[in-house]
Structure 1
């Protein structure tokens, strides 16, 4: 029942965001559309931004959880792009509002988690410290977020598949090279 109520509130928020900027949406708008009372909303979420974060976490995270390896990271990124394209008005409304921080936080968190798994896998036999692994993962995380947000700003005209194909060509083998170069810096002369 709790999950169903959360999903109903999420559906209402997405529906209202198709017509109205996030900053103009009130709790009252949501509860009226959803058919619940204010107390029910506050039982589940602190505010609209908490609901927004829950939507991104539950809808998009589940779709990439199986793609956190060196062989499958491309499919994980493709799922993120497809989610954004499928939910274009919702994501663009978030992107163009105060909710942008929530979207960027979500993207950074999920992409970083995907990449840190890849870096851990590829660097398994190297002597990289956790700080070095985090640096490499952050480097690629910000690059991918930049590509995604640029694509969003440009109206999402290119297909997610085409973008991922280009990204794959650009970075194919680069994570391994970066790990090897970083490891080389620590070898005694």
Structure 2
């Protein structure tokens, strides 16, 4: 089995176990048994369950955003994050309740920042804007976007993701360009 296939098998087994019991009750032995491998194989790929959790989050985010990193598609990218979280509700809720909050936050911030930064890069073509200004704008929006996601998770993921993204889109329509123009003018 290739290294990536083994990592995916471990991740799949871990997610299956999360359907049966809370994250804080799952052991590396449980995961290894579910994969029909030994503990050493797990340790060859991950140091611990937290590293596995982080890898799953990063891999899932990368897949969700792979085709949606432009201004024209940022809504689909953000919607993909919502849908991915909803699809893996047990996994996300377990992380949310049993792992230090910085793991989930770091994952959401990283995925959202990259999405927003790519949009800003695209909209800034032809403009002279300092790198730190683009990063500042991306960080500002990142906190708002992730705040919406965390509130949605807190409220049991009841609201329809498409409606949230639609409302967000109408709220910030034209704001990326305005922020970039303001950064350009304030040099």
Structure-1 separation of matches of 2:11 and 2:89: 15
Change (3 A) 1:99 1:4: farther
The TM-score with structure 1 as length reference comes to 0.93
2:93 alignment counterpart:
92
State the 1:99 CA deviation: 4.8
1:26-175 equivalent positions in 2, closer than 5 A: 26-175=27-176
Structure-2 separation of matches of 1:35 and 1:150: 38
2:180 alignment counterpart:
179
SS in 2 for 1:96: helix
Structure-1 separation of matches of 2:68 and 2:118: 10
Structure-2 separation of matches of 1:144 and 1:101: 16
The TM-score with structure 2 as length reference comes to 0.94
Contact 2:71 2:122 survives alignment (8 Å): yes
Contact 1:108 1:145 survives alignment (8 Å): yes
SS in 2 for 1:126: coil
Q: Does 1:10 find its partner at 2:11? A: yes
Q: Say how many residue pairs are matched.
A: 186
Contact 1:22 1:99 survives alignment (8 Å): no
Task: Extract structure 1 runs of 4+ deviating beyond 4 A.
Answer: none
Contact 1:77 1:164 survives alignment (8 Å): yes
Structure 1 unaligned blocks of 5 or more = none
Structure 2 unaligned blocks of 5 or more = none
Structure-2 separation of matches of 1:104 and 1:21: 19
Structure-1 separation of matches of 2:61 and 2:69: 14
State the 1:129 CA deviation: 0.5
What RMSD in Å do the two structures reach over aligned CA positions?
Answer: 1.3
Q: Does 1:22 find its partner at 2:47? A: no
